[in-house]
Amino acid sequence: MSLAGKKILIGVCGGIAAYKIPLLVRLLKKNKAEVRVVMTASAIEFVSPLTLSVLSESKVLYEFQDEKHQWNNHVELGLWADVFLVAPATAKTISAMAHGYADNLLLTTYLSARCPVFVAPAMDLDMYSHLSTKKNLEKLAQFGNHIIESTEGELASGLVGKGRMEEPEKIFLSLQKFFENKERLKGKKILITAGPTHEKIDPVRFFGNHSTGKMGYAIAKVAADNGAEVKLISGPVHLKLEHKNIEIISVESALQMYDEVERNFDSCDVAIMTAAVADYRPEQVAAQKIKKEDELLNLKLIKNPDILKEMGKRKKHQLLIGFALETQNAVENAQKKLTKKNADLIVLNSLENQGAGFAHATNQVDFVTPEGVQHFDLKLKSEVAEDIINFIIENM
């Protein structure tokens, strides 16, 4: 796909990997993209603004005011771009982006940008593997940003490991793929459930499960990036996701989730049930806080509706995808669920696999379909989401 006419804004931070940016700008310009560059003050010590200005055929900005004391409008920059790429993204800038700091032109542009944002980290391996960096990158991904993972290799410190910024050719391909994907699900409506449900016991207590919603939110983002119109019905989670193609409907209980799914199911093309919905709820919810008096507290539980099964009964044109978290006889149980729920795909994951299941950034899944079982290795949940979206596109 040609990038002709695409407006690419590149934010360059102060790291040795900045030497690769002229190569990236040249690649983008050869493919007819419009390119503008904004830099941090420290970045100009690694690569010349004049070089980037000549290659991009546009003035490079790195201060709030130019030499004539004219204001460099960060809002205008953010509105101009179809994509904002921050590369190399240093640990300092990643932290500032994650926490909303705005003390330079690049950061104020980031906070003003309404377009998709790509982040290509570059730093030493200990910095890259530090928990604070991992959390900041995870937070940026939750904001809806695209993280271009660093690669392994020789670093400026002389150490060898992960932390190298991805090569310009690979970054170019990531941008190219993004623009290609934007059309793949255009006009399709996808319904997704995510997270746990909380079943009230009294005004202050509930029972639930350990689901964080990460998998469902990752799928919603990838679906929206591929052009789909997404309705995300979310149980109580601590995640945020902003995307013009995503409407988030917040619910608390299994009954509320069922009502919202039922209301939106007939109009969707694909339904993906990732939520960990409580199987049971208290028959009665106490009006006041239950006091700790007796040795035993007896609660009578009644069954919640089986959302996946009920949608399997009423589906017509929809592609229906369910999830199964198993602790034993995993494949056999998933195959039974596929038939019983009239689903087109069961995404199976097991708590027996290290790095899979609740709370992790990674997951290891098998796709169980009427045709058989497809095994996948452990990978990031964002990559699992891409596998699921690819399955949808192939089977629509």
Q: Is the pLDDT of residue 357 over 70?
A: no
- Whether the link from the prior residue into 282 is cis, omega within 30° of 0, is no
The whole-number pLDDT of residue 66 equals 64
Mean pLDDT of the chain: 92
All residues at 6 or more sequence positions from 54 whose CB lies less than 8 Å from its CB, including other chains: none
Query: Does the domain formed by 189-395 have CATH 3.40.50.10300?
Result: yes
- Lowest mean pLDDT of 64-68, 265-269, 288-292, 387-391, name the range: 64-68
Binding-site annotation: residue ranges for CTP: 279, 289, 305-308, 323, 337, 341
CA atoms within 13 A on the CB side of 196: 16
- Domain boundaries defined on the chain: 7-181, 189-395
Model confidence at 276, pLDDT cuts 50, 70, 90, reads very high
Work out the average pLDDT over 138-142.
Answer: 87
Round to whole Å and give the CA distance between 230 and 191.
Answer: 6
Same fold for the domain at 7-181 and the one at 189-395?
yes
Listed residue (167, 14, 20, 170) closest to 92, CA to CA: 14
- pLDDT > 70: percent of the chain: 96
Binding-site annotation: residue ranges: 279, 289, 305-308, 323, 337, 341
Listed residue (12, 16, 19, 2) closest to 41, CA to CA: 12
All residues at 6 or more sequence positions from 358 whose CB lies less than 8 Å from its CB, including other chains: 209, 210, 211, 212, 276
User: Residue 310 — φ and ψ, nearest 5°?
Assistant: -65, -40
189: left (phi over 0), alpha (psi -120 to 50) or beta: beta
Round to whole Å and give the CA distance between 234 and 269.
Answer: 19
Round to whole Å and give the CA distance between 90 and 39.
Answer: 12
Question: Quick one: CATH architecture of 7-181?
Answer: 3-Layer(aba) Sandwich (3.40)
Write the DSSP symbol of residue 14. S
All residues at 6 or more sequence positions from 374 whose CB lies less than 8 Å from its CB, including other chains: 366, 367
Model confidence at 38, pLDDT cuts 50, 70, 90, reads very high
Active centre residues (catalytic): 209
